[in-house]
Amino acid sequence: MQCPKCGFQQVESEICEACGIVFAKYEERRSSITPEAALDTASDSKIAPNPDKESYVKTMIIVVLAIALGLMAGKVYFEKSAESPDAPLEVVQQQDAVSEPMLQEPNISFQQPTEAPYPTPPGENNPVTVNHGSSNSIAAARNATVYIETPWGSGSGFFVDNQGHVITNRHVVKFDQAKLRTFRQKLEELENALEKEKKIIKNLKERLEKVTDEPLREKITNAIRAKEDHYNKYDRLYWKLQEQRRNIEYSDYPAAIKVVTLSGQEFTAYEIDYSENFDLALLTLDGFSQEPIKPNFRRLSPGATVYSIGNPSGLRHTVTAGIISGYRTYNKVGTVIQTDAPINPGNSGGPLIDEQGHVLGVNTMIVNNTEGIGFAISIKDVWDEFPGKIAP
């Protein structure tokens, strides 16, 4: 069919893909004006970007970007809370993210807890100065904390013995294949949307070749330029996400997992053991020994000062302070420590330590869309989960 206003040829539709008019309303308007007015209207036709098509492409971009960064978001969220301190916690996991200043992390929502059995007491959440030496216990624990980088994201970990063993979260170093399949599907949908936009641009260019009216040619030219800018912007994003997909699919696992110490030395894990009951993984480094963080298996009282060490948003070896809010049962088999010490994207797998620099737990979870509700897996469960692996 041909648009009665701009002459654009397209398949049967209620709206012109070139100028955006609604055919029914256009005919109704034409029937209500004089022939002279109709002539004036036709000579002043406007060609504008099709809002429906642009909206479709923008929507697809947002969806794909959410999936891409959702694959790598740096948190594990509680899906629902327990009704008593001894009830189990149910969690959903999400990968840690590599810091990317050009992209905005989407708001990925999970069901929030309906009740918090341990209300978070007021506490200081100010960052601790991190440019101190190794003259205090907190600095010594920071020295034993590492930055972990993978093709799909990043996180934290720390040495638990002097035999090259590093503990971290499983979700930091083990990629979820189900999320990769979803990522591939959304990329394909984005590719189809961009292909449709390309056809619209081609049709506009063919239309431009047939137009002799100079004002109309200028309007069509401007519409083409706007659509090409829009297309090129998101086409670049598409290829960037494709490169990310290839890096994940063809990574040399586990050699692709890079462990970086405070001094900047890089190592790869030649062996990885996974916990069956917890979000934990034990990495074995080859040829490197580091003074570990000593464990504290005792329970501290609510209100006790604790410190979280990790790499939030790529800011390596950041130390933040908080307090213990309480203890909770985890998956019916272990214990998590509730704290208001900030646990941000990139903190996953890092240590939660006491004022003496002894590790109490492994930072793992937060409650989504809240502040001051974070969780660490008890260090006792770490030792119980890898018997004979961690040197005394």
Question: Which value, to the nearest 10 degrees, does the dihedral of the CA atoms of residues 159, 161, 166, 167 take?
Answer: -90
Mean pLDDT of all residues in the chain? 75
3-state secondary structure the chain: CECCCCCCECCCCCECCCCCCEHHHHHHHHHCCCHHHHHHHHHCCCCCCCHHHHHHHHHHHHHHHHHHHHCCCCCEEEEECCCCCCCCCEEEECCCCCCCCCCCCCCCCCCCCCCCCCCCCCCCCCECCCCCCCCCHHHHHHHCEEEEEECCEEEEEEECCCCCEEEECHHHHCCCHHHHHHHHHHHHHHHHHHHHHHHHHHHHHHHHHHCCCHHHHHHHHHHHHHHHHHHHHHHHHHHHHHHHHHHHHCCCCCCCCEEECCCCCEEEEEEEEECCCCCCEEEEECCCCCCCCCECCCCCCCCCEEEEEECHHHCCCEEEEEEEEEEEEECCCEEEEEECCCCCCCCCCCEEECCCCCEEEEEEEECCCCCCCEEEEEHHHHHHHCCCCCCC
Residue 80: which residues within 8 A CB-CB, separation 6 or more? 90, 111, 113, 114
Distance CA 342, CA 127 (A): 9
Q: Of the ranges 6-10, 33-37, 94-98, 142-146, which one carries the lowest mean pLDDT score?
A: 94-98
* Phi-psi domain of 243 (left: phi exceeds 0; alpha: psi -120 through 50; beta: other): alpha
**What integer pLDDT is reported at residue 314 of this predicted model?**
77
pLDDT in tens, 28-55: 666 554 443 433 433 344 444 454 555 5
pLDDT in tens, 99-114: 322 223 333 222 222 2
289, pLDDT greater than 80: no
Q: Angle 141-144-145 (CA atoms, 0-180°, nearest 5)?
A: 90
Which residue type, as a one-letter code, is found at position 353?
I
Q: Of the ranges 67-81, 160-174, 214-228, 258-272, which one carries the lowest mean pLDDT score?
A: 67-81
**What integer pLDDT is reported at residue 135 of this predicted model?**
56
Q: Mean pLDDT over residues 215-221, rounded?
A: 93
**What integer pLDDT is reported at residue 334 of this predicted model?**
83
> How big is the chain by its Cα radius of gyration, in Å?
28
pLDDT in tens, 71-95: 444 444 443 333 333 334 433 333 3
Only one residue has tokens 């978001």, namely: 73
Task: Name the residue ranges covered by the structural domains of the chain.
Answer: 1-46
Q: Mean pLDDT over residues 356-368, rounded?
A: 89
pLDDT in tens, 254-266: 778 899 999 899 9
Characterize the bridge pairing of strands 359-366 and 145-150. unpaired
Contact 295, 358 (CB under 8 A): yes
Distance CA 7, CA 186 (A): 35
Q: How far is CA 253 from the centre of its chain?
A: 21
Distance CA 54, CA 59 (A): 8
Contact 227, 194 (CB under 8 A): no
pLDDT in tens, 292-323: 999 999 999 999 999 999 998 878 899 999 99
Q: Angle 3-4-6 (CA atoms, 0-180°, nearest 5)?
A: 65
